Structure 1
Amino acid sequence: MSADPDAAEKRAVLASYAAMWTEQKKAYRKAGAKGTDLERYVTAEALGQFRNDLDRMKAAGTVVRGDLAHDDTEVTALDMDAQTPSATVQDCMGISKWQTYSTKEGQVLPMPSAQPTRYVATATAEKWEDGWFITTFTPDGAQTC
């Protein structure tokens, strides 16, 4: 059995993905990215996506409490030969302990009844001079895992 020559790159991609989530959870807990290091792990496109979410949360007076589970997270594609090396990450996200909390009402809001508690999310990443950056994040609530 031969070793995976890309194993170190895959670990680096997964480390950036995990760090992005650490910072994103901080932002979601206060409905704002200020005071987080989210920009260290995502490109402007992905940051814009997250800021839109945060703006909606702030307007609705909600924050997120609890934690997410990330099961079977793996790099499903890696192209180190491209001009800008790229990777795809697939994640099985568990949200059963992830709660939307209304700061206006002072209570946890119920999860939509059709919302699966485990679903697939896909992220893309690119390797830049400073490391791997997440470029897109796409949750797919229709694809359970």
Structure 2
Amino acid sequence: MTQVTTSVNRTARGRNASRAAGAAAGAVLALLLGGCGGGGESADEGKAKTRPAAPPASASASADPAAGEKSQVLRAYDGYWAELVKAYAKADTKGTELKKYTELDALSRAQLDVGRMKDAGTVHRGKPGHKVGDPELALEKDIPTATLTDCLDISGWTPVRDGKVLPFPEDQEPRYLTTVVAEKWEDRWLITKVTPHGDRAC
């Protein structure tokens, strides 16, 4: 009878030891899963505290997903005009960065106009004003394109020859509509076509 009782006690102690070891292993696993969570927090509670807060729904809904592309188009257009004004001021494209912002028809047109000015001995003083509309994008094309309109004001951008200001033609509007096309080549936008509508005042 004594041997049976001893055997039972040993069996019970073995089971208790196994349960204790299992509980200890479970506690270690909980700490690993819980990360830095402490003070009785569960793993989910620890994760909830470290998860970044989502932006307000209204802010996400109102954001323009194409805003970055539009901004790049407008920067390219600003760059085009900054370099064109430099070229017109000396009747020469050398020393300008027109090719950084311009290609195709827009670049050819600028080079042709500057060449004619050089032959005529004229330059332009001052700079034009702009009122540019929001670009319209077609990003699904093989070559993404953007179109925009500009109310170009040339009243402060005057032609000069031999130091004398030349008058504008009588039928020339001082502020007129200009339509612009830009294309995205690889990772940058380039102005590829600029069409002035000198008879369409704006």
Taking structure 1 as the reference length, the TM-score comes to 0.93
Alignment of 1:1-145 (within 5 A): 2-71=62-131, 73-103=132-162, 106-145=163-202
Structure with the higher fraction of residues in helix conformation: 2
**Residues 76 and 130 from structure 1, CA distance in 2 versus in 1: closer, same or farther, beyond 3 angstroms?**
closer
* Relative contact order, higher structure (CA 8 A, sep 6+): 1
Task: Please state how far the C-alpha of 1:45 moved relative to its aligned partner.
Answer: 2.7
Is the strand fraction higher in 1 or 2?
A: 1
Structure 2-normalised TM-score?
0.68
Q: Which residue in the other structure is 2:52 paired with?
A: none
Helix, strand or coil at the partner of 1:141 = strand
Greater Cα shift, 18-27 or 75-84: 75-84
Structure 2 residues without counterparts, runs of 5 or longer: 1-60
- Percentage of identical aligned residues: 46
Aligned partners of 2:106 and 2:135: how far apart in 1?
A: 19
Measure how far apart 1:113 and its partner are: 1.5
Instruction: Confirm or deny: 8 A CA contact 1:88 1:122 kept in the other structure.
Output: yes
The Cα of 1:143 is off from its aligned counterpart by: 1.2
Tell me the C-alpha RMSD between the 2 structures.
1.2
Q: Distance in 2 between matches of 1:10 and 1:94?
A: 22
Q: Structure 1: give runs of 5+ residues left out of the alignment.
A: none
Bigger radius of gyration: 2
Q: Which amino acid aligns with 1:22?
A: A
Local SS of the residue matching 1:75: coil
Cα pair 1:14 1:74 within 8 Å, conserved: no
Instruction: State the AA in 1 paired with 2:67.
Output: A
Q: Measure the CA separation in 2 of the matches of 1:98 and 1:87.
A: 27
**Residue pair 2:104, 2:193 contacting (<8 A) in 1 also:** no
